[in-house]
Amino acid sequence: MQIQDLPYADPGVPDARSGPRFLWWLFRNQLGGQLKSLAWGLLHFASVAALPFCVGVAVQAVVDRSGARLALAGCLLALACVGNAVGDTFLHRTAITNWITAAARVQQLLARKAAQLGSALTRRVAAGEVVAVSTGDVEKIGWFVEAWSRFTAALVTIVLVCVGLVVYQPALGVVVAVGLPVLALAVLPLLPRATRRADTQREKAGRATELASDTVAGLRVLRGIGGEELFLDRYRRASQEVRHAAVRSARMWSLISAIQVLLPGLLLIAVVWYGVQLARQGRITVGELVTVYSSVMVLTYPLRHFEEIAMAYSFSRPSAKRAAGVLALERATDTAGSRAAENPSGDLYDPDTGLLASTGRLTAVVCGDPDAAGRLAERLGGHPSQEGTAVLLGGVPLDELPLDSARTAVLVQDKDPVLLSGSLRNLLDVPASGAVEPREALAAAQCDDVLAALAQGSLDAADPMDARITERGRSLSGGQRQRLALARSLITDPEVLVLDEPTSAVDSHTEARIAQGVRELRAGRTTVVFTSSPLLLDRADRVVFLHDGEVAAVGAHRELVRTEPRYRAVVTRETEDEVALNGEADLTDVLAELEEIEEKA
């Protein structure tokens, strides 16, 4: 896999049982790139390790006044330099390729999992944690996967050089062969502590990211209640904790780096001192001493990869554990489905509550518990995050269909839809039947003032469709975001459209026009609206009232207001005490008030 071939057609099925298993799975799926990196790494490190031998031959040739051996040493030195340059260049290319492709694979897996889980993801994992996993953790995982082949090449080179030195000059070679493993393993006792400090830093950074994400998302509300300074102080404290944890972690890694510099220096002093003694005794030549001395100096370069792989694993192991934790999340139902893909049609029926949405009609659902309404809306879309009885569409259990087929048949817009950054044209470029034009959907959702605001905020956009939308639409009001999301849902024109409180943030005049626009645009298509707004309820073909998780009443809005006190209490926001106090005596006043609201709208 090359960078230009990304994204993967299929990133595969990860082994998410644990962090190390996930890292091993990533490594196995990049075996071709790892072998290329290993090959170029061996060429690079072998060329670097050959330089001392060439220098030693050249020095000894000068001592012996041998021009032929000096020329040979020069040719070998040139060959080693070419090998070093070529190997280093292509090692860097393959290493970066492995890093980016591994990170891209993880990001694709996370994106696919987020698409499968939908809104259930943020209910099971904090939003800040998801952001941290898909950004910083992805880079750390890619770093370790990429560094493994370079570390292997460095390890093989060190072993070969040690064996070569023992054969070339046994007296000094044994000293080097014994000293190098000690250097490589000397930092192992410090790694657990360094890993714990890195984990602590990552946890605190994740909490700070989550706090920042929540603060930005609720900035409008915080400004309204004057809570900006409170949350700013919280973030300051969280960021200071991250800083202190980062300093503690950096101190430990600095100690490890210092040891990696100190011990090779001590080995070099020992080799020189012992080599001088052997040279004075005539047991080795000057060229052999220079060769061994230079080899020890050069080997400090591949030895650094021991520190790097330890650091990469220490940082990537908790990152891989968190990524595996997200990837291991599953829906309560099999997203592949036990049935073949199909597009069912007909009545939408929920056996748990008894809710029936007749085909081609606008059904309004009133539920006093907003959380229960949200769970029911999710269940109507098929493949809910919690186990339960399957919802039937035309007699076909949606849970048994593949997830893509279920979502094509039933589109659920939750009460807090997300707008992605980009142009309005890109926002509305969604899979659709083609029967509904963007202009029609925008008109039905009453987005004229939204288009005007976007055009005014984007001076370089002649067409409002080319106007830019900021991240999550934060430059727009809640009602404007809600209407754009509704227009996006209307464009898809699904067989069944489920809307959860689609007009909770708009005024009554706009709400009345939206109700009429949705009714006209969705004529002949099945639409289910979860709402307690009299304006929407009055325009529904059928109103279903849910109480304690079951259908308690079915009928027209005005009829239910007259005959069902519990329904009237939800619609008019009456408390239980008010219902008991007012009773039927105030029914006429309630109806008059509702009619007055509708007439004004």
In the prediction, which pLDDT does 455 show?
Answer: 77
CA 382 to each of CA 516, 585, 587: distance values in angstroms, whole numbers, following the listed order:
28, 44, 39
Better pLDDT: 191 or 360: 360
**Residue 220: pLDDT band with limits 50, 70, 90:** low
CA distance 595 to 558: 10
Each residue's pLDDT tens digit, 24-39:
999 999 899 999 999 9
Scanning 458-492, the segments in alpha helix (DSSP H) are 478-492
Average pLDDT over every residue of 231-239: 80
Of 183, 180, 173, 184, nearest in space to 151 by CA: 184
Q: Say whether pLDDT at 459 is over 80.
A: no
**Residue 585: pLDDT band with limits 50, 70, 90:** very low
pTM: 0.71
Of 8, 7, 21, nearest in space to 327 by CA: 21
Q: Say whether pLDDT at 313 is over 80.
A: yes
**Residue 366: pLDDT band with limits 50, 70, 90:** very high
Average pLDDT over every residue of 428-452: 90
Average pLDDT over every residue of 471-480: 76
Q: Are 446 and 510 in contact (CB under 8 A)?
A: yes
Each residue's pLDDT tens digit, 338-364:
788 888 889 999 999 999 999 999 999
CA 213 to each of CA 128, 216, 472, 482: distance values in angstroms, whole numbers, following the listed order:
6, 5, 12, 20
- The gap from C-alpha 304 to its chain's centroid, in whole angstroms, comes to 31
In the prediction, which pLDDT does 35 show?
Answer: 94
CA distance 463 to 360: 35
- pLDDT exceeding 90 applies to what percent of the chain? 30
Each residue's pLDDT tens digit, 109-118:
998 888 888 7
Counting every residue written for the chain, the total comes to 601
223's CB contacts (< 8 A; 6+ apart) are none
**Residue 59: pLDDT band with limits 50, 70, 90:** confident
In the prediction, which pLDDT does 24 show?
Answer: 93
Q: Say whether pLDDT at 394 is over 70.
A: yes
Each residue's pLDDT tens digit, 151-167:
999 999 888 888 888 88
In the prediction, which pLDDT does 500 show?
Answer: 92
Average pLDDT over every residue of 485-492: 94
Average pLDDT over every residue of 540-555: 93
Mean pLDDT for all residues in the chain: 84
CA distance 71 to 341: 74
In the prediction, which pLDDT does 498 show?
Answer: 95
- Residue 303: other Cβ atoms inside 10 A: 19
Each residue's pLDDT tens digit, 563-575:
999 998 888 876 5
**Residue 120: pLDDT band with limits 50, 70, 90:** confident
Q: Cα Rg for the chain, rounded, in angstroms?
A: 34
Q: Say whether pLDDT at 423 is over 70.
A: yes
CA distance 441 to 429: 12
Q: Say whether pLDDT at 506 is over 80.
A: yes
